[in-house]
Structure 1
Amino acid sequence: MKYSKATNYALHTMLHLVASTAENPVGVQQLAEIQQVSQTYLSKILTKLVKAGMIESASGAGGGYKLIRRKEDISFLDVIHAIEGTASLFHCGLEHNSEECLIQGVMVEAEQTMEQVLRERKLISLVDKVQVVRK
C-alpha cells in the first residue's frame, strides 16, 4: 500500500506547525520552501487540512496557517484521513456479498490494526526529534 505524495507533504507540514513555537501564522511560501514543493500544490493540501478543522488560514501581510486543534490531539490518522479520506484500502470486487468475502475480512482486520496505531501516535511525539525553522 502507498499513501499519496499529498499525505507526505501534509504530515510534514503538520509536524512543522506542531513543532513551531511561532505565535504568528506560518506562510505557505515558507512551508513550501521547507519541503521543496510548489506553493500552488501545497496550498491545495492546506485547504484540505483547513476543511478538516486542523488549521486555519489568515490572509494579509502577516497571513499564513496556524493550528486550531490542540497540538497534543493531532494524530497521524487525523492527517491521513484529511488528505486520503476514510474509505477502506481494499474492496472485494467479486460478485459475492462483501460480508462473505474471506479476503475482505482479513484486509479489514489488518487495516483496523494499522489505523489504531496511527490513531494512537501523535505528531507531537516527534517534536523533540525534529529541527524546525523558528521565526
Structure 2
Amino acid sequence: MKYSKATNYALHTMMYLTAVAPDKRLGVQQLAEHQRVSPTYLSKILTKLVKAGMIESVSGANGGYKLKPNWEAISFLEIIHAIEGSTSLFDCCQNDNPDCLIQKIMVSAEEKMEQELFNQTIGDLAKKMTVTL
C-alpha cells in the first residue's frame, strides 16, 4: 500500500500553510520552492484542494492560496480523499461472495486506518508543530 507523491505534497502544503500563513495568501512559486517541486505539478494538487473546499485561490498580482475558514477541522483523510479519491484500497477478486473472509479482514483494517486518519486533523498537528515543515 502506498499513497502517491501528490498526497505527500498535499499534506505538507496544508501544514506549511498552517505554520507559515493561515490567514495570508502564498503564491504557488513559494509553496513549490519550499517543497522543491515543480510549480506546475503543485498547481494541479492545489486545484484539487480548492475543489475540495480546503483552500481558496485568488488570481492576480496579490493572489495565491490560503486556508479556508475552519481549516483546523480538516482531517488527514479528507486531504487524502481530495487527492487519491475514496475508492477502497483492496479490490477483492470475489466481490460477488459476501462471505469472503479475506475481504472482511481487509475492509475492517481499512476502516480502522481511515478512522485514525479522520481523527487526525491539521489543527491538532498544528498545535504539536515545533519546527517548520
Same fold (TM over 0.5): yes
Alpha-carbon distance in 2 for matches of 1:35, 1:46: 13
Question: Per-residue CA shift, 1:39-71, capped at 9, x if unaligned?
Answer: 000000001001111111000111110111412
Question: Per-residue CA shift, 1:75-118, capped at 9, x if unaligned?
Answer: 11010000011100001123x61422211110000000001000
Q: Compare 18-27 and 81-90 and name the one that shifted more.
A: 18-27
In the alignment, what sits opposite 1:119? 118
In the alignment, what sits opposite 2:17? 17
CA contact (8 A) 1:28 1:43 kept: yes
Coordinate RMSD, CA, aligned: 1.7
Structure 2, unaligned runs of 5 or more: none
In the alignment, what sits opposite 1:110? 109
Extract structure 1 runs of 4+ deviating beyond 4 A.
Answer: none
TM-score (norm 1): 0.90
1:26 is paired with a residue whose SS is: coil
Structure 1, unaligned runs of 5 or more: none
Q: Compare 16-25 and 77-86 and name the one that shifted more.
A: 16-25
How many aligned positions are there? 132
Q: 1:81 to 1:16 in 2, by over 3 A?
A: same
Alignment identity in percent? Answer: 61
In the TM superposition, what are the counterparts of 1:61-72 in structure 2 within 5 Å? Answer: 61-72=61-72
CA contact (8 A) 1:16 1:132 kept: yes
Alpha-carbon distance in 1 for matches of 2:30, 2:64: 9
Q: Compare 64-73 and 34-43 and name the one that shifted more.
A: 64-73
